[in-house]
Amino acid sequence: MSTSAPPPDTGTAEAGQAERSTSDLTRAAMSGWLGTALEFMDFQLYSLAAGLVFGQLFFVGDSAALAVVAAMATYAVGYVARPVGAWYFGRLGDRVGRTKVLFITIALMGGSTTLIGALPTAHDIGILAPILLVVLRLGQGFGAGAEISGAGVMLAEYAPRRRRGVIASLVALGTNCGTLGASAIWGILVAVMSEEQLLSWGWRIPFLGSAVILLVAVWIRFRLKESPVFEESSHVSDGVALSTAEVRAKAERENDTQMLEALEQKKWRALVPAFLLRFGQAGNSGILQTYMVSFITVTLAMSASVGTTVVIVSSLCAFVTVPVVGALGDRFGRRRMYQVMSVISLVLIVPTMMLIAGADVPKVFVGYIVMHNVSVMALASLENLTLPEIFGSRHRYAATGVIREIAAMIATGIGPVVAAAWVAATTGSWIPVAVLLGFFTLCPLIGTLFMPEVAGRDLRDPRNAV
């Protein structure tokens, strides 16, 4: 029996694939991290501005409450645009390559955010101001819909097979960086500026300042080589994907059994587990990152600073959780780690919610940080790689993007609303929150029953894993 060591894992994603140097891989990783950070910074900048100043700047009227509602409705418009962007740019990315589309998405997303900072307000141009704001918000969401999925696909297709989990986890870390960065910027502005200064010109600073990150990200992506998986896939010729008819004719001519099987596969079989994986993680995120701040502040009657601070501290802890879980996924497999983390999350739901419900600050921090990192950030680390690995090379970008955005829109849309109504109906009980967390956590666990192990899969394979 041979005892020789396996060949070293170099910068190429698969043996025999187009060569990519360590610097190429580093550039791809930086590109994915910056793009995701910018995406979440953009959305957090807008969400905070919508609550703090946009009602007074763009929706001027007799009712201050209605102005805030209108500002938040404009915020929601961006989420409606995301699935459309995921479908459009995902299909384009599967046809002409990842790098071209990722260049467009970040320019559209970041450019829209920067231009928001240059908009005249309703005091200057009247009704045209909120119309322009909605247009830019649509552009922001349209580009963002294919950004995080594209970054995950690109990193998965670039990364060495045995280190995909660690490298692709940078996408999840980008979400933390963007959210924390935007929150810090607004926190500083609110602390050092008067309300008059903030409303007159201070609110523009974070939007215009985001152009710095945009320019760096665009520069990196301009120099980024195409995904080696896309370049060498059998359905690609001269950098462009062949039509279905051309693919079938080529596969029959060359007796390409993998491609012929891919053409006959039932696509929904891969969509089901992918949807459940994403739906569960997004649902937990909506409950813990959106609703739980309100639960701590309103239902438990604790200081508003407790809810916001615990989210920030937990997000900082995720800088350890995310890469560790990614590495464990490389070591033990994506399917097994999903099952392990889901079971741990189910076991911890009741004790962590009891800690939070005790309304004691240290216990609230312990309960929230443990639950958030296990049921949201750990699953996010696995998700950013598992979804691209489930789908075949022909439709990977589009399938990953559309599933991510539709599942998230449904889960994060209904989760916090149901939680708020249910808790109110039970006069502040934590049990409805625990039940919803249990429901969402069961979804990824069930999803793993419909999928094989996908870690280390040859991503040039046109067949879905299911």
What is the domain-level CATH number for residue 301? 1.20.1250.20
Residue 457 inside a domain? The answer is no
Span 324-352, average pLDDT: 95
Residue 59: what are its φ and ψ, rounded to 5°?
-125, 60
**Euclidean distance between CA atoms 427 and 15, whole angstroms:** 59
239 and 298 assigned to the same domain = no
**Euclidean distance between CA atoms 43 and 454, whole angstroms:** 32
191 and 306 assigned to the same domain = no
Task: Round the average pLDDT of the chain to a whole number and report it.
Answer: 85
More confident residue, 87 or 11: 87
Residue 465 inside a domain? The answer is no
Residue 463 inside a domain? The answer is no
Residue 145 has pLDDT above 70, yes or no: yes
What's the pTM?
Answer: 0.86
102 and 237 assigned to the same domain = no
Contact 173, 34 (CB under 8 A): no
64 and 204 assigned to the same domain = yes
293 and 248 assigned to the same domain = no
Strand partners, 240: 237
For residue 140, the tally of other CB atoms under 10 A from its CB is 28
332 and 375 assigned to the same domain = yes
More confident residue, 423 or 374: 374
Look up residue 29 and give its two tokens.
């990783």
Residue 340 has pLDDT above 60, yes or no: yes
Strand partners, 118: none
Q: Distance between the two ends of the chain, CA-based, in angstroms?
A: 34
Span 185-198, average pLDDT: 83
Residue 31 inside a domain? The answer is yes
**Euclidean distance between CA atoms 212 and 361, whole angstroms:** 38
Give the residue from 207, 174, 196 showing the smallest Cα distance to 39.
Answer: 174
151 and 250 assigned to the same domain = no
Give the residue from 156, 235, 227 showing the smallest Cα distance to 454.
Answer: 156
Q: How far is CA 175 from CA 44, 228, 311, 330, in A?
A: 10, 25, 13, 21
Residue 60 inside a domain? The answer is yes
Number of domains making up the chain = 3
Residue 432 has pLDDT above 90, yes or no: yes
Give the residue from 14, 418, 423 showing the smallest Cα distance to 231.
Answer: 14
Domain boundary among 216, 243, 264: 264
Contact 95, 393 (CB under 8 A): no
More confident residue, 459 or 42: 459
> What is the SS3 string spanning the chain?
CCCCCCCCCCCCCCCCCCCCCHHHHHHHHHHHHHHHHHHHHHHHHHHHHHHHCHHHHHCCCCCHHHHHHHHHHHHHHHHHHHHHHHHHHHHHHHHHCHHHHHHHHHHHHHHHHHHHCCCCCHHHHCCHHHHHHHHHHHHHHHHHCCHHHHHHHHHHHHCCHHHHHHHHHHHHHHHHHHHHHHHHHHHHHHHHCCHHHHHHHHCHHHHHHHHHHHHHHHHHHHCCCCCHHHHHCCCEECCEECCHHHHHHHHHHHCCHHHHHHHHCCCHHHHHHHHHHHHHHHHHHHHHHHHHHHHHHHHCCCCHHHHHHHHHHHHHHHHHHHHHHHHHHHHHCHHHHHHHHHHHHHHHHHHHHHHHHCCCHHHHHHHHHHHHHHHHHHHHHHHHHHHHHHCCCCCHHHHHHHHHHHHHHHHHHHHHHHHHHHHHHCCCCCHHHHHHHHHHHHHHHHHHHHCCCCCCCCCCCCCCCC
**Euclidean distance between CA atoms 306 and 362, whole angstroms:** 10
Question: Which of the given ranges, 230-239, 286-295, 335-344, 454-463, has the highest pLDDT on average?
Answer: 335-344
Confidence grade of residue 363 (pLDDT, cut at 50, 70, 90): very high
Domain boundary among 173, 207, 227: 227
318 and 241 assigned to the same domain = no
Residue 381 inside a domain? The answer is yes
Residue 175 inside a domain? The answer is yes
Span 294-298, average pLDDT: 83
Residue 249 has pLDDT above 90, yes or no: yes
Contact 174, 36 (CB under 8 A): yes
269 and 215 assigned to the same domain = no
153 and 299 assigned to the same domain = no
Residue 5 inside a domain? The answer is no
Q: What's residue 10's pLDDT?
A: 42
340 and 240 assigned to the same domain = no
Q: What's residue 331's pLDDT?
A: 92
Contact 228, 156 (CB under 8 A): no
Least reliable range by pLDDT among 14-18, 20-24, 91-95, 312-316: 14-18
Domain region containing 241: 233-264
363 burial class (0-12, 13-18, 19+ CB within 10 angstroms)?
middle
Domain boundary among 227, 255, 283: 227
Confidence grade of residue 70 (pLDDT, cut at 50, 70, 90): low
Confidence grade of residue 64 (pLDDT, cut at 50, 70, 90): low
Residue 236: what are its φ and ψ, rounded to 5°?
-110, 135
Contact 129, 119 (CB under 8 A): yes
The residue to which tokens 């696995």 are assigned: 382
292 and 393 assigned to the same domain = yes
Least reliable range by pLDDT among 17-31, 115-129, 226-240, 257-271: 17-31
